[in-house]
Amino acid sequence: MSKQPFTADATLPQSLQELFGAADPFGLVHRLREEAPVFRVPGAGFWLVTRHDDIKALFRDQERVTADQRASAGFRPRPEGSYLRWVQDNGLLALPSDGHARIRRLVSAAFTPRAVRRMDEQIRDVVEEFAAPLRRRSGETLDLSQDFADPIPNAVIARIIGVPSEGGDDKRFRKLAHAFIRGVVQFATPEAQDGAEAALAELYPWVEHVAAERRVAPRADLVSDLVHAVDRDDSLSDREIIMLVTGLLAAGSTTTAMACILMANTFLRYPEPFERIRRDRSLIPGAVEEVLRFSFGGPAGLARYALQDFTLRGQQIRKGEMLMLSFAGANRDPEVFEDPDVFDIERDARELLVFGGGAHYCLGANLARQELACMLDGLLEILTPGSKVRTDLEGGVRRMFLGQGPFLVQIA
Ligand code: HEM
Please write the tens of the pLDDT for every residue from 174-189: 788 888 888 887 678 8
Answer left, alpha or beta for residue 233, where phi above 0 means left and psi between -120 and 50 means alpha.
alpha
10 falls within a domain: no
In a domain, 3, yes or no: no
Question: What is the model's pLDDT at position 397?
Answer: 53
Question: Is 177 a pocket residue for ligand 1 (Cβ < 6 Å)?
Answer: no
Say if residues 65 and 305 touch (Cβ distance below 8 Å): yes
| pLDDT at residue number 253 | 87
Q: How far is CA 362 from CA 9, 129, 251, 407, in A?
A: 38, 26, 9, 26
361 CA closest ligand 1 atom index = 12
| More confident call, 336 vs 169 | 336
| The pLDDT value given to residue 391 | 74
Ligand 1 center–CA 107 separation, angstroms: 14
Residue 137 C-alpha to ligand 1 middle, in angstroms? 34
Q: Where are the alpha helices (DSSP H) in 217-332?
A: 222-228, 238-252, 254-269, 271-279, 284-295, 327-331
**CA–CA dist 371, 96 (Å, integer):** 31
* Residue with CA closest to ligand 1 atom 32: 364
Residue 6 falls inside a structural domain: no
User: Cα of 11 to ligand 1 centre, how many Å?
Assistant: 33
Q: Output the pLDDT for position 388.
A: 94
Q: Read off the pLDDT band of 6 (50, 70, 90).
A: very low
pLDDT (mean) for 143-167: 88
Mean pLDDT in residue range 46-60:
97
Tell me, using a 6 A CB cutoff, whether residue 159 lines ligand 1.
Answer: no
pLDDT digits (tens, 9 = 90+) for 298-357: 898 999 999 999 999 999 999 999 999 999 999 999 999 999 999 999 999 999 999 999
Q: Average pLDDT over the chain, rounded to whole? A: 89
Q: Using CA positions, which residue lies closest to atom 43 of ligand 1? A: 362
pLDDT, residue 10, reads: 54
Residue to substitute in 255, 293, 371, 372 for testing ligand 1 pocket (most ligand atoms within 8 angstroms of CB) = 255
* 2 in any annotated domain: no
Give CA–CA dist 15/12, Å, rounded. Answer: 9
Q: Looking at residue 326, which CATH number applies to its domain?
A: 1.10.630.10
**33-37 — which CB contacts under 8 Å span 24+ positions?**
33/329, 33/333, 34/3, 35/5, 35/6, 36/6, 36/12, 37/313, 37/329
Q: Can you give the C-alpha Rg of the chain in angstroms?
A: 22
Q: What is the pLDDT, as a whole number, of residue 280?
A: 97
pLDDT of 2 = 36
**CA pair distance 41, 79, nearest whole angstrom:** 30
Determine if ligand 1 sits within 6 Å of the CB of residue 258: no
- Of the pLDDT bands very low, low, confident and very high (cuts 50, 70, 90), residue 394 is low
Domain count across the chain: 1
Atom of ligand 1 nearest to the CA of 67: 16
**Digit-coded pLDDT (tens) for 226-251:** 999 888 889 999 889 988 998 888 88
Q: Is residue 74 part of a domain?
A: yes
Q: DSSP letter string over 65-97?
A: EES-GGGSTT--PPPTT-HHHHHHHHSTTTS-H
Give the model confidence (pLDDT) of 7-26 as tens digits: 444 567 888 888 888 888 89
What pLDDT does 4 receive? 40
- Higher-pLDDT residue of 13 and 267 is 267
Looking at the predicted structure, is the pLDDT value of residue 41 above 60? yes
Q: Which pLDDT does position 393 carry in this prediction?
A: 59
Q: What is the pLDDT of residue 44?
A: 84
Whether 4 is covered by a domain: the verdict is no
Does 251 contact ligand 1 (Cβ within 6 A)? yes
Q: Give the residue with greater pLDDT, 298 vs 273.
A: 273
User: How sure is the predictor about 5, in pLDDT bands with cuts at 50, 70 and 90?
Assistant: very low
Indicate whether 68 belongs to any domain.
yes
Residue range(s) defining the domain that contains residue 75 = 16-410
pLDDT tens digit string along 22-38?
Answer: 888 899 999 999 999 99
pLDDT band at 167 (very low <50, low <70, confident <90, very high): confident
Q: How far apart are CA 208 and CA 206, in angstroms?
A: 5
Q: What is the mean pLDDT of residues 155-182?
A: 83
Determine if the pTM surpasses 0.95. no
Instruction: State residue 392's pLDDT score.
Output: 64
- For a pocket test of ligand 1, which of 181, 248, 258, 355 has the largest count of ligand atoms closer than 8 A to its C-beta? 355
CA-CA distances (angstroms) from residue 316 to 46, 269, 306, 311?
12, 41, 11, 5
CA 225 to CA 134: how far, in whole Å? 34
| Residue 336 maps to a domain | yes
**Predicted local confidence at residue 374, as pLDDT:** 97
Asked if residue 195 lies in contact with residue 207, where contact means CB atoms within 8 angstroms, the answer is no
